């Protein structure tokens, strides 16, 4: 093990240990409110009271309901047989392992499997995992005991695989656990992998069918009345909600719901996402996946700050991807790293009187759009930089691609 890899492993080990000690020794370390919902809610799966369950011990101002499909409760069901502390510790360690896998696959999609065998890239993978542990989307995922890193890993594994049944099965399963990862299907549409798209739809349908088979009343309630009820998920106007709907609502002072403002914004973002995808190279799998996932985060009614774990692969793509030499790439990466390390939504949360209050001073409203505005600028940058790369000619593109593919070997 070379010196850089040893240092990276040490930093990652200390990061995981620090989080573990915080969880076990601090007063609020075991709050893990979402994990409590997963464990407690899933225990009610077979009682016809899954969607009556709420957890309010640590959240008295907003008792947290179980908001996922019944299939998710089936996946989480075994957890309630274990002591909660055991589940919490295992959850933290699993998040760290999943985050490492997300970083590794990100590098693999950019550089290829062979390059990752070089010590330099092994050290970079571990080091970026350690950095990722302290970025707000992952920090809050750990604080709440959320499932976001696991879902991102499912999407990454689906993209990594060339087997239609593996890719389609993974997308269908993660969409069955939480509907929003279904946006990954757009990646396979963009890649024209139609068999994978069909397989993902069939597997997702199977999760729905299994839900009706095991818990028919809960399935009817979820898919019949609860699906699409954003108010049940949480306060749309809270600064923690970094979706288009959340940002627009705070700026305009009232919930825009799915009205004209939101529709117009979605159309604009959809056009930008499409043009950004078209500006990417045909072999840029990670870039395509990032464009798709950011679009999903933007158009979802609720995208809590801890849902934005896809920002870490995006930073890696900006630093190491095919457009890394384009003007502004490092500035863009720095913007996202700084905002995530600081945790802008977390800072702004101290300035909101209530999570239910939408109207707020203009400066705070615009600062609260940190992720939404960042994505718009990112799309515009990709469109401009991608077109300039195309105009640079095949020789220059081949040189940049070859440089990225050989950096690991040279190390």
Q: Is 221 exposed, middle or buried (0-12, 13-18, 19+ CB in 10 A)?
A: middle
The H helix count followed by the E strand count for the chain is 21, 2
The pLDDT value given to residue 400: 47
Single out the residue in 160, 184, 202 at which a domain terminates. 160
| Number of domains, the chain | 2
For residue 75, tell me if it sits in a domain: yes
Residue 353, helix vs strand vs coil: coil
The pLDDT value given to residue 319: 97
Single out the residue in 144, 160, 176 at which a domain terminates. 160
Q: CA of 44: how far to CAs of 56, 65, 268, 402, in Å?
A: 16, 12, 42, 55
- Tell me which of 154-163, 216-225, 382-391 is least confident: 382-391
Residue 391: band (very low, low, confident or very high) from pLDDT cuts 50, 70, 90: low
For residue 220, tell me if it sits in a domain: no
Residue 409: band (very low, low, confident or very high) from pLDDT cuts 50, 70, 90: very low
Same-domain check for residues 156 and 282: no
The pLDDT value given to residue 109: 96
Residue 388: band (very low, low, confident or very high) from pLDDT cuts 50, 70, 90: confident
Same-domain check for residues 263 and 116: no
Most confident of 135-139, 358-362, 392-396: 135-139
pLDDT value at 393 more than 80: no
The pLDDT value given to residue 403: 52
pLDDT value at 346 more than 70: yes
Distant-in-sequence, close-in-space partners of 58: CB < 8 Å, separation ≥ 6: 31, 33, 36
For 147-181, write each residue's pLDDT tens digit. 999 999 999 999 999 999 999 999 999 999 999 99
Q: CA of 287: how far to CAs of 110, 132, 213, in Å?
A: 9, 19, 39
Residue 61: band (very low, low, confident or very high) from pLDDT cuts 50, 70, 90: confident
> Does residue 111 contact residue 404 with C-beta atoms inside 8 Å?
yes
Same-domain check for residues 139 and 241: no
The pLDDT value given to residue 331: 97
Instruction: Return mean pLDDT, the chain.
Output: 92
Structural domain of residue 69, as residue ranges? Answer: 1-160
What's the DSSP call for residue 309?
G
> Does residue 173 contact residue 154 with C-beta atoms inside 8 Å?
yes
Cα–Cα dist 14/21, whole Å? 10
Same-domain check for residues 394 and 248: yes
Same-domain check for residues 129 and 241: no
Same-domain check for residues 96 and 244: no
pLDDT value at 326 more than 60: yes
The pLDDT value given to residue 316: 98
Q: What is the mean predicted confidence (pLDDT) over 174-203? A: 96
Same-domain check for residues 303 and 404: yes
pLDDT value at 410 more than 50: no
For 65-113, write each residue's pLDDT tens digit. 999 999 999 999 999 999 999 999 999 999 999 999 999 999 999 999 8
Single out the residue in 130, 160, 190 at which a domain terminates. 160
For residue 390, tell me if it sits in a domain: yes
For 276-307, write each residue's pLDDT tens digit. 999 999 999 999 999 999 999 999 999 999 99
Residue 8: band (very low, low, confident or very high) from pLDDT cuts 50, 70, 90: very high
Cα–Cα dist 182/299, whole Å? 13
What's the DSSP call for residue 161?
-
Same-domain check for residues 19 and 146: yes
Same-domain check for residues 37 and 146: yes
The pLDDT value given to residue 321: 96
The pLDDT value given to residue 397: 46
């Amino acid at each position: 093990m070379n010196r850089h890899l040893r240092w990276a492993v040490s930093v990652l080990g200390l990061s995981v240990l620090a989080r573990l000690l915080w969880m076990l020794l601090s007063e609020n370390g075991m709050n893990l409110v979402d994990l409590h919902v997963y464990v407690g809610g899933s225990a009610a799966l077979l009682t016809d009271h899954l969607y009556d369950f709420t957890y309010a011990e640590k959240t008295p101002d907003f008792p947290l309901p179980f908001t996922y499909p019944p299939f998710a409760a089936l996946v989480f069901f075994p957890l309630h047989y274990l002591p909660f502390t055991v589940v919490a510790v295992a959850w933290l360690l699993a998040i760290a392992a999943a985050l490492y896998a997300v970083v590794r696959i990100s590098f693999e999609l950019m550089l290829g499997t062979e390059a990752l065998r070089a010590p330099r890239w092994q050290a970079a993978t571990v080091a970026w995992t350690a950095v990722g542990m302290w970025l707000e989307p992952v920090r809050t995922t750990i604080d709440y005991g959320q499932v976001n890193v696991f879902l991102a890993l499912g999407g990454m594994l689906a993209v990594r695989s060339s087997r239609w049944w593996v890719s389609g099965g993974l997308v269908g399963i993660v969409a069955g656990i939480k509907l929003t990862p279904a946006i990954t299907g757009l990646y396979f549409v963009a890649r024209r992998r139609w068999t994978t798209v069909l397989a993902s739809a069939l597997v997702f349908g199977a999760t729905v069918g299994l839900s009706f088979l095991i818990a028919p009343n809960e399935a009817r309630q979820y898919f019949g009345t609860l699906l699409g009820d954003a108010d049940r998920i949480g306060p749309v106007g809270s600064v923690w909600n970094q979706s288009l709907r959340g940002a627009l609502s705070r700026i305009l002072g009232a919930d825009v719901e799915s009205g004209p403002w939101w529709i117009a914004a979605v159309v604009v973002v959809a056009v930008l996402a499409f043009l950004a995808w078209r500006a990417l190279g045909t072999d840029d799998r990670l870039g395509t996946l990032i464009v798709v996932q950011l679009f999903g985060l933007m158009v979802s009614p609720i995208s809590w700050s801890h849902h934005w774990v896809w920002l870490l692969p995006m930073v890696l793509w900006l630093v190491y991807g095919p457009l890394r030499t384009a003007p502004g790439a490092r500035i863009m990466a720095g913007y996202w790293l700084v905002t995530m390390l600081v945790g802008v939504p977390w800072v702004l949360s101290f300035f909101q009187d209530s999570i239910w209050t939408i109207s707020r001073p203009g400066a705070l409203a615009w600062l609260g759009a940190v992720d939404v505005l960042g994505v718009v600028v990112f799309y515009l940058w990709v469109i401009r930089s991608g077109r300039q790369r195309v105009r640079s000619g095949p020789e220059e593109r081949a040189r940049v691609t070859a440089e990225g593919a050989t950096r690991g070997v040279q190390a």
